[in-house]
Amino acid sequence: MKRIAILGSTGSIGKSTLEVIRHHPQEFTVIGLSANSNIDILYKQIKEFKPAFVCISDRHCGLDLYSKLKGKGIRFFLGEEGLCELVADKRIDKIVLAISGAGALKPFLKAIDSGKDISLANKEALVMAGEIIMNKAKKKKINIIPIDSEQSAIWQCLHNQDKEKLKNIYLTASGGPFHRTPRRNLKKVSVRQVLKHPRWKMGRKITVDSANLMNKGLEIIEAMHLFNLTSEKIKIVIHPEAIIHSMVEFIDGVILAQLSITDMRIPIQYAISYPERLTSNLSGVDFYKLKSLTFERPDYRKFPSLTLAYYVAKEGGTTPCVFNAANEVCVNEFLRKNLPFISITGVIEKVLQRHHNVSNPCLNDILEADAWARLEVLKIIRQN
């Protein structure tokens, strides 16, 4: 039985992971849970799964939860320091890293230091510090197994294949809610419209990223680090049906694809059960009901986030970190209705233009670039 710690258990990935564990009680047990501030959902999860330890990142909310847990024999951690201490616990067999945003970076590095395999549902940390993370993981000889459906598909298609014979990988994208919307009509779209994704049910931040294809931009950089590729070998394909989750092409012309229904529990289950495959209670793809599978080139003019991503991928250094930080703040400001949806990439581009790249950054360089970019975004928004 694998003892699983879920960082970000109250978010969509965390909840789906717990559903997988419910279906396989003989295979997995929950030993640790963490959340940012949603103590109501976390407390219900604690009562059901009875973890040995929990962590709450928000200190104010943490005190409320601590009072509820007092005397129940559960070890309690608080804040970022507590999260880093939690992941080091020797009783953990595997960590599901489902914290969104740059806040995942430090516990991610600490988890690698502790020598545990990681099931990863966070793009941002690898975008920020992919080289540092992957070098550390290689030294520790641990597996970083992607949960995102596209990266999971590539991981599975490359399994036991000769990567030297790889020609290209294709990251598929549904196209989001504005796939057929002219660019001129994006000027006044509402938060509600942006958050209405046609295929996936996800958290608010990644749903916004999906609407302007920023998620694909982040995935380009993520895939470079996960699979040790140059950006030239990574292509984006619009695939509205979202049945093919990604593809790999080899030098002999053979293309391998991974297909499944649009349900995150499928890549989550594989990530935590790897190298085994377990039975699923989900329905499979019904080929007799599929009328067609379509593929299109992305519209780089309508979605300039992709052009920015390829530029950032080639620049390297601290540029990807600035790219990610600027996007996080822009998305947050959009959700607060302080920034139009169509202006997100424009603000990010301005921040990148003002950035002085550090070509071979250490962790402190990355953290400094991250902090600088966040302040620079707010300056630009206020000036406008």
Q: Tell me the C-alpha distance between 260 and 302, whole Å.
A: 29
**Close Cβ partners of 119 (under 8 Å, ≥ 6 residues apart):** 94, 95, 96, 97, 145, 146, 147, 268, 271, 272
Contact assessment for residue 195 and residue 204, using Cβ atoms and an 8 Å cutoff: yes
**Token output for 18:** 């717990």
Q: Which helix (H) or strand (E) holds 376?
A: helix 363-383
DSSP-derived 3-state class of residue 202: coil
pLDDT tens, 145-204?
Answer: 999 999 999 999 998 899 899 999 999 999 888 888 898 898 889 999 999 887 777 778
**Close Cβ partners of 180 (under 8 Å, ≥ 6 residues apart):** none
**Token output for 97:** 């890293």
Determine the Cα angle at 310 with ends 306 and 314, to 5°.
Answer: 165
Q: Tell me the C-alpha distance between 354 and 23, whole Å.
A: 50
The one-character DSSP state at 26 is T
Kindly provide the residue ranges of all beta strands, DSSP E only, lying in the chain, ordered along the sequence: 2-7, 28-35, 53-56, 75-78, 94-97, 117-120, 144-146, 166-173, 234-238, 244-250, 255-259
Q: Which helix (H) or strand (E) holds 194?
A: helix 191-194
Predicted pLDDT of residue 202: 75
Q: Tell me the C-alpha distance between 208 and 176, whole Å.
A: 9
For the chain, which residues score pLDDT lower than 70?
none
User: 363-383 and 344-354 are packed helices; what angle lies between their axes, rounded to 10 degrees?
Assistant: 120
* 3-class SS letters over 210-233: HHCCHHHHHHHHHHHHHHCCCHHH
Q: Tell me the C-alpha distance between 342 and 185, whole Å.
A: 10
Predicted pLDDT of residue 63: 81
Contact assessment for residue 303 and residue 212, using Cβ atoms and an 8 Å cutoff: yes
Amino acid at 325: A
Q: Tell me the C-alpha distance between 268 and 120, whole Å.
A: 9
CB atoms within 10 A of CB 187: 10
Predicted pLDDT of residue 96: 97
Q: Tell me the C-alpha distance between 149 and 156, whole Å.
A: 10
**Token output for 302:** 């309508």
**Token output for 122:** 């966070």
Predicted pLDDT of residue 197: 80
CB atoms within 10 A of CB 369: 25
DSSP output for 240-308: TT--EEEEEEETTS-EEEEE--S-THHHHHHHHHTTS----SS----TTT------B---TTT-THHHH
Backbone φ, ψ for residue 106 (5° rounding)? -65, -50
Q: Tell me the C-alpha distance between 84 and 55, whole Å.
A: 10
Nearest to 164 by CA among 245, 233, 110: 233
